[in-house]
């Protein structure tokens, strides 16, 4: 048992034993270290002003990822290197990313600038050689600028990523990786007492025992939702169990027939596996939050949280995914669709937690489509999320239809009446389509809130089903979509 967390700052090991379970990395940087270059903006991981880079040892070198420090609990950074904007320069010599921002006039008021610098720093470390404008846009989609305008910032990123990479972090990568490996251990972390604590078990067995003892504790994987409970809802969370150190829970395996996703595998790690199942699924994962959110947020956490507007559950339900839950030394499998009972209530016993997901790959004759409808294209929460899988025989008859929506009810839910209306009909049968559209009205009494009206959601769900049927019947997505056309993914693959 270890009663402290340890991480690397500016080449030195920092150890903290007196840790409040709800302390955030942003508060540590600004209030304890007085490293105020990292800014506090929205407090919910949307604006990117608080962006820092977290380094982890992988394959003998350090891999850096941009994260939102405002919703990253301090205890979660155990065993990592933390890089803030103050750390980049060497004396009076700016880091290449900082120098490019100056040269291209990428800052006016300067409040958002540190976050942009850190996102581009992570891109700088991640990439080799020139980077396309579209990729840069994706890397800074989680950073908000209100006065400079994005063009000079993008120009700075294009400039700095044009040439060879050379900075003190790359030069010290092997040494830093060795330091991080030294910090790595198999000890459970427990800081506090039975009434208030931060814990980070190192094994599934340790997690199971601890959660059975403290079933009211909050389990945190990536913190991209729980962080908002602290910063926005101002909830007191006296008992927090972080599962990011549990050995084996972050794994992903492609068995050939399905993809197995551990409960702590991040969106970023899962995205290429999901894209291999279907381009729409990969694009859905790319549009979940920002690079900062996808580097921390987990697929298992999104499913376990049970939000009615979560992006991954409808897609997983349409694919027929299952999940594994564990309580003590007993595990059970459950269809993802059966996990959700009603708003805020899941099919999960006291002390039971999600350990992983099994996502079936598409079989011959199966067609998958999914669509995310938001007010902004990037970095936004869904108003309606629709996912569809049709199994067609050689004569284009629908032998099975799986249709699932998010944002239409208090839980992610299948449209079983619409599915029944399509079963046994030709994918091109317009009469069957009309029946399915009518049945869809019976499947849902849509939510009515600040994101969308009930009528808007009903009409959008109807339109998405129609689009999925059109595309499954063979209509090119060049005719049905303005962006995200599947032909673009096919051309890129070729």
**Residues 179, 134: Cα–Cα separation, whole Å:** 35
Range of the domain at 340: 252-360
- For the chain, first and last CA: distance in Å? 52
User: 217 near 211, Cβ under 8 Å?
Assistant: yes
Pairing mode, strands 196-200 and 239-242:
parallel
Q: Could you tell me where the DSSP H helices lie in 186-339?
A: 204-213, 226-231, 267-277, 279-286, 291-296, 299-305, 312-319
- Structure tokens of 153? 């910032």
**Residues 233, 228: Cα–Cα separation, whole Å:** 7
**Residues 158, 347: Cα–Cα separation, whole Å:** 48
What pLDDT is stored for residue 450 in this prediction?
A: 84
Cα dihedral 281, 286, 292, 297, rounded to 10, equals -10
Neighbours of 373 (CB within 10 A): 19
For residues 372 and 427, state if they share a domain.
Answer: yes
Q: Which residues pair with 401 in a beta bridge?
A: 390
Q: What string of pLDDT tens digits covers the 494 residues of the chain?
A: 999 999 999 999 999 999 999 999 999 999 999 999 999 999 999 999 999 999 999 999 999 999 999 999 999 999 999 999 999 999 999 999 999 999 999 999 999 999 999 999 999 999 999 999 999 999 999 999 989 999 999 999 999 999 999 999 999 999 999 999 999 999 999 999 999 999 999 999 999 999 999 999 999 999 999 999 999 999 999 999 999 999 999 999 999 999 999 999 999 999 999 999 999 999 999 999 999 999 999 999 999 998 888 899 999 999 999 999 999 999 999 999 999 999 989 999 999 999 999 999 999 999 999 999 998 888 888 999 999 999 999 999 999 999 999 999 999 999 999 999 999 999 999 999 999 999 999 999 888 888 899 999 999 999 999 999 999 999 999 999 988 899 876 655 54
**Residues 423, 425: Cα–Cα separation, whole Å:** 6
Query: What CATH number did the domain enclosing 103 receive?
Result: 1.10.150.120
User: 52 near 87, Cβ under 8 Å?
Assistant: no
Q: Could you tell me where the DSSP H helices lie in 131-277?
A: 133-139, 150-160, 168-171, 173-183, 204-213, 226-231, 267-277
For residues 376 and 487, state if they share a domain.
Answer: yes
For residues 275 and 380, state if they share a domain.
Answer: no
For residues 382 and 311, state if they share a domain.
Answer: no
Tell which residue, 154, 244, 184, has the closest CA to residue 62. Answer: 184
User: 483 near 474, Cβ under 8 Å?
Assistant: no
For residues 224 and 280, state if they share a domain.
Answer: no
Q: Tell me: the pLDDT tens digits for 15-32? A: 999 999 999 999 999 999
Query: What CATH number did the domain enclosing 438 receive?
Result: 3.30.390.50
- Structure tokens of 445? 């009494």
What pLDDT is stored for residue 490 in this prediction?
A: 61
**Residues 76, 68: Cα–Cα separation, whole Å:** 12
Please give the C-alpha separations between residue 158 and each of 91, 136, 150, 201, 399, in angstroms, as whole numbers: 25, 8, 12, 42, 50
Q: Is 386 within the bounds of a domain?
A: yes
- Structure tokens of 58? 């992988």
For residues 153 and 195, state if they share a domain.
Answer: no
What pTM was estimated for this model as a whole? Answer: 0.95
Query: What CATH number did the domain enclosing 316 receive?
Result: 3.30.465.10
Task: Return phi, psi of residue 299, to 5°.
Answer: -65, -45
Q: Is 23 within the bounds of a domain?
A: no
For residues 418 and 468, state if they share a domain.
Answer: yes
For residues 371 and 476, state if they share a domain.
Answer: yes
Q: Is 49 within the bounds of a domain?
A: no
Task: Return phi, psi of residue 62, to 5°.
Answer: -95, 130
For residues 489 and 370, state if they share a domain.
Answer: yes
What pLDDT is stored for residue 12 in this prediction?
A: 95
Q: Is 345 within the bounds of a domain?
A: yes
The total number of structural domains that make up the chain: 4
- Structure tokens of 156? 């700075």
Residue for token pair 């490293």: 35
For residues 479 and 433, state if they share a domain.
Answer: yes
Of 116, 133, 166, which one is at a domain's C-terminal end?
A: 166
What pLDDT is stored for residue 494 in this prediction?
A: 47
Tell which residue, 138, 121, 128, has the closest CA to residue 84. Answer: 121
Q: Is 202 within the bounds of a domain?
A: yes
Q: DSSP labels for 373-413?
A: E-SSSSS---SEEEEEEEEE-TT-BEEEEEEEEESSSSS-E
**Helix 312-319 crosses helix 279-286 at what angle (to 10 degrees)?**
160
For residues 344 and 380, state if they share a domain.
Answer: no
Give the angle subtended at the CA of 26 by the CAs of 24 and 27, to the nearest 5°: 70
Q: Is 81 within the bounds of a domain?
A: no
Q: Is 324 within the bounds of a domain?
A: yes
User: 293 near 315, Cβ under 8 Å?
Assistant: no
Residue for token pair 């459950």: 334
For residues 112 and 219, state if they share a domain.
Answer: no
Q: Is 175 within the bounds of a domain?
A: no
Residue for token pair 């003590």: 328
What pLDDT is stored for residue 491 in this prediction?
A: 55
Tell which residue, 353, 358, 301, 299, has the closest CA to residue 326. Answer: 353
Query: What CATH number did the domain enclosing 197 receive?
Result: 3.30.43.10
Query: Mapping DSSP to helix (H, G, I), strand (E, B) and coil, where does residue 478 land?
Result: helix
């Amino acid at each position: 048992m270890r009663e402290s967390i340890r991480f690397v700052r500016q080449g030195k090991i920092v150890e903290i034993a007196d840790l409040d379970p709800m302390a955030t990395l942003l508060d540590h940087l600004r209030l304890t270290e007085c490293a105020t270059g990292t800014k506090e903006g929205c407090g919910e991981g949307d604006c990117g002003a608080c962006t820092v880079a977290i380094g982890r040892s992988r394959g003998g070198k350090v891999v850096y990822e941009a994260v939102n420090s405002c919703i990253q609990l301090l205890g979660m950074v155990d065993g990592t290197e933390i890089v803030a904007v103050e750390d980049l320069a060497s004396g009076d010599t700016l880091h290449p990313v900082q120098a490019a921002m100056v040269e291209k006039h990428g800052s006016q008021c300067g409040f958002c600038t540190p976050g942009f610098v850190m996102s581009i720093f992570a891109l700088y470390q991640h990439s080799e050689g020139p980077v396309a404008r579209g990729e840069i846009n994706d890397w800074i989609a989680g950073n908000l600028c209100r006065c400079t305008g994005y063009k000079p910032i993008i120009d700075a990123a294009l400039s700095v990523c044009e040439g060879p990479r050379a900075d003190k972090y790359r030069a010290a990568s092997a040494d830093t990786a060795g330091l991080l490996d030294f910090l790595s251990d198999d000890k459970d972390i427990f800081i506090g007492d039975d009434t208030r604590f931060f814990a980070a078990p190192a094994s599934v067995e340790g997690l199971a025992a601890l959660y059975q003892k403290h079933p009211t504790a909050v389990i945190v994987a990536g913190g991209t939702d729980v962080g908002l409970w602290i910063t926005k809802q101002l909830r007191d969370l006296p008992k927090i169990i972080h599962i990011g150190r549990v050995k084996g829970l972050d794994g992903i395996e492609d068995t050939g027939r399905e993809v197995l996703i551990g409960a702590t595998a991040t969106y970023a790690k899962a995205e290429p596996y999901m894209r291999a199942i279907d381009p729409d699924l990969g694009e859905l994962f790319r549009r979940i939050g920002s690079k900062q959110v996808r580097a921390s947020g987990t697929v298992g956490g999104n499913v376990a949280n049970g939000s009615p507007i979560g992006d991954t559950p409808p897609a997983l339900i349409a694919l027929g995914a299952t999940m594994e839950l564990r309580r003590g030394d007993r595990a059970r499998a459950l269809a993802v669709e059966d996990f959700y009972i009603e708003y805020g209530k899941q099919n999960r016993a006291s002390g039971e937690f999600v350990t992983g997901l099994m996502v079936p790959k598409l079989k011959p004759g199966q067609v998958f489509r999914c669509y995310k409808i938001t007010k902004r294209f990037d970095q936004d929460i869904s108003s309606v999320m629709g996912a569809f899988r049709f199994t067609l025989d050689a004569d284009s008859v629908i032998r099975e239809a799986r249709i699932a929506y998010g944002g239409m009810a208090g839980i992610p839910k299948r449209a079983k009446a619409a599915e029944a209306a399509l079963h046994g009909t030709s994918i091109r049968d317009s009469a069957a389509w009309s029946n399915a559209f009518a049945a869809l009205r019976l499947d849902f009494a849509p939510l009515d809130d600040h994101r969308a009206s009930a009528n808007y959601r009903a009409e959008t769900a109807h339109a998405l089903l129609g689009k999925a049927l059109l595309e499954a019947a063979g209509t090119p997505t060049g005719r049905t979509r303005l962006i995200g056309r599947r032909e673009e993914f096919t051309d890129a693959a070729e």
